[in-house]
A and B are shown apart, each in its own frame.
Chain A
C-alpha cells in the first residue's frame, strides 16, 4: 500500500519530499525512502519525480477512494487532483509535457527586465585566461538563441587593452570597472564590483571560466544575489520552450552527467570548464559600447592583500593545472632513460609525470605521481611512455582531452583509453617523435 522507490533510478533530488503532503518521504543516504506508516499512495510524489523512480504500488485510486483516505492530524494538505497543481509541478510540466499535459505558452522576455548574456573576463597578473574568449564564442550562441545582447565584464587596473580584446572577440557591450584596488584579483573587491554591475544592468545569464579565480568569485556573487550557480559546466544550451539555460556538468567524479536548471532566480550563473568550448574568431577593430562604473571601495577597507605571485613554468606547475604532460612508467627501464622522455617534454614545454612505480623507483618525486594515490590530471594532451595502464593509474588520467600511448605490449590496458597508441620500442619511437616535433615547433608552442 505504499509508493515504491526504484533505488537505481532515484538521484536523491528530493522533489518528492517537498511534494508529499503527508511527509511520508525522507532522504536517507541520498535516496528517497518511503515511511509506510504515513504513505497513503496519493501519488503526488510520482508526478514530480524527474527520473521516474517512483511508482504506485497499485493502480491510482479513484477520487472517491481518495476521499475516504483519512488524513492524519497535522498534515499540511491533502492532494486533490481537481485543485490547481502545486507550483513546482507546474514548472515541471513545462519541461515535461509528456507527463502532465498543460497548454504550452510562448515564453515572453523576462518580465523583470533581466536580459543579456555576460561573460566575465579573467584578467590577472597581466594575463587574460583564454577560457574568457572561449566563453565569448559560446555566449554568442546563447545570446543568438535568446535574441539578446552579448556583453563582457572587465575588472582590473588599467584595462583598456583588455576592452579592445573583448570587443575583438565579439562583445557588443563591455562593462568596465577600472580601479587601482583591482590591480590583483581578490575575492572581496571583485565580487563587490561585479555584483554592483549585475544589480544595475540585470543580465539574464552570466558565465565565467571554472578556474581558481572564476570558482572563487562567482560563488561570492551568487550569494550576494541569492541566485543559483552551477560549477564546472561542460555543455550549455537554451531550452527552446522555457528559455532557461541548460547547464550540463559532470557529477560524481565524472561518472555521471547532470543537467541543472535555475528556474526562478536571476541571473542564471555558471562556471565553465576551460578548453571545452571552441575559441571564436578574433576580428581586429570591432567596435562596441563601453560602459564604465566606479568601484567605490578604498584599499584600507579590503582585508585581503596579495603579498607575492610566484609564476610557474612547465617544471614547477601543479600537475593538475598542467596543459601538456609527458608521463613515464616502469617500462622506461632506468633513470638514465628518463632523458628520452625529458627531451620530448622539453620540446613541447610539457610537465613530466609518472606512475606510482616510476615514483617508487625514485625517478620522480611524489608530487609528480598520477593516479589514485597521486594526482588526478586533466591536461589537454597526455603522452604516456612505457606505462601499462593499471586501473589505479587510469583513473587519474583517463579524462585527459587527448591521450597518446607508447608501449611495447599490444595488450597493455593503456591502449584502451588512448586516442593513438603506438606499439613499439620506446627507445626508437619517442626520439623519432621528438625529432619530428622539433622540426614543426621551431617557432614555439601556443599553449
Chain B
C-alpha cells in the first residue's frame, strides 16, 4: 500500500486578527503549524502502514520555509516528503492548488502508484474543504470526505464512517481512493525518538516548476478563477442585555424565555401534534 498525504503549513489562525481601526491584518509573530486536520490524516496513514505495511509519502505546496513542517511531519514516521515550491505556484486558489497537487501525485504514481490519498478535511486558514475533492476529481478517484473512522480495507475496497449533519454514514469505495480526515479519526501520537532523529537529518525534496510538468495557464494567479476583492473586519458582537435574576428568578427567567421565542431562537413546530 502506498499512502500519500497532502499537507499544508498554516498560520495558527486563532491568533490572526484584523485591526478594527486600520482594517489590516495583524500577524506579527503568528507561528506556523501543520494544519491540524492534515496531522490527523498523517497519523491515520502511519497507523495503516503499521497494520498493513507499505509506505507513506507526504507532499506539501508552499514557500521554502514550509520545509520545516515537512521535517516535523517526517518525525511521525513517514518515508518520503516532497515540497512543491515555485514562485509561479503562489496565489493559487483551491482549483489551481488541486491541479498542482494532482500533477505531483501523478508524477509520484509513475514509479510508485498511490493507493490512498489522505487530506485533512480543510485547512484552518482557508476553511474551504475544496482542495481534497478537487484532487479526487482530477485523479478520477472516488472520494470519501469527513471520515471519522476507517473500518476495514478488504479486497480492494475501503469501508469508512463519515460525519454528516444527520448522523454517521457508513460508506465504502474502491481503491485507489481519496479520503479527507476529521479530527475524530484518531488521537495524535507523539513522535518516537529514533524517528525524530531521522527527521532532523532528513532534507525534503523540493520540486519546482522544472520538476513538475504543470500547465502555466492552470496554476498560480492566472489559473485561479477566484480572486479576493476586499477584506474587512467582521462586525463586532454587540454587548447583550444582562438581567438581575437574584431577586425574582422566575419572572426574569420567564422574560428571557419570552425573548428567545420572539427572536426565533427556538421555534415551535406547527406540524407536531402532542408533546415531544
Contact = CB atoms under 8 A, between A and B. Distances in A.
Contacts of B169: 306, 308-310
A257 interface: yes
B241 A317 contact: no
A262 B226 contact: yes
B128 A404 contact: no
A220 B137 contact: yes
A17 B90 CA distance: 9
B72 interface: no
B87 interface: yes
Interface string A195-234: 0000000000000000111011011101110111111100
Contacts of B95: 222-223, 226-229
B123 to A, nearest CB: 11
Interface stretch (A109-117, A153-161, A417-425): A417-425
Interface residues of A, number: 119
15 contacts: A28-B63, A124-B166, A212-B162, A219-B133, A223-B134, A311-B167, A318-B184, A381-B266, A418-B240, A422-B242, A436-B258, A440-B257, A443-B274, A446-B267, A446-B272
A343 interface: no
A417 B237 contact: yes
Given A231-B127, A231-B130, A421-B241, A303 B173 contact: yes
Contacts of B261: 440
B269 A304 contact: no
Nearest to A324: B266
A327 B207 CA distance: 49
Nearest to A372: B14
Contacts of B226: 228-230, 260-262
A6 interface: yes
A125 B167 CA distance: 11
Contacts, number: 343
Given A8-B19, A215-B129, A432-B253, A444 B241 contact: no
Interface in A314-351: 316-318, 321, 324, 347-349
Contacts of B220: 14, 18
A195 B44 CA distance: 33
Given A261-B229, A432-B250, 20 more contacts: A8-B19, A11-B25, A13-B227, A127-B166, A187-B133, A229-B130, A253-B127, A255-B16, A256-B233, A257-B233, A259-B228, A309-B168, A381-B265, A402-B263, A404-B256, A416-B239, A421-B240, A422-B253, A443-B272, A446-B267
Contacts of A433: 253, 256-257
Contacts of B19: 8
Interface of B: 11, 13-14, 16-19, 22, 24-27, 32, 63, 65, 87, 90-91, 93-95, 98, 124-134, 136-138, 142-146, 159, 162-174, 184, 220-222, 224-234, 237, 239-246, 249-250, 252-254, 256-261, 263, 265-276
A312 B130 CA distance: 26
Contacts of B24: 6, 8-9, 51
B85 to A, nearest CB: 11
A310 B151 CA distance: 15
Nearest to A215: B129
B16 A256 contact: yes
9 A-B pairs with the lowest CB-CB distances in the bound complex, closest first: A14-B91, A424-B245, A228-B225, A444-B272, A8-B24, A432-B253, A219-B133, A446-B269, A228-B226
A311 B166 CA distance: 6
Nearest to B167: A312
Contacts of A125: 166
Interface string A362-398: 0000000000100000001100000000000001001
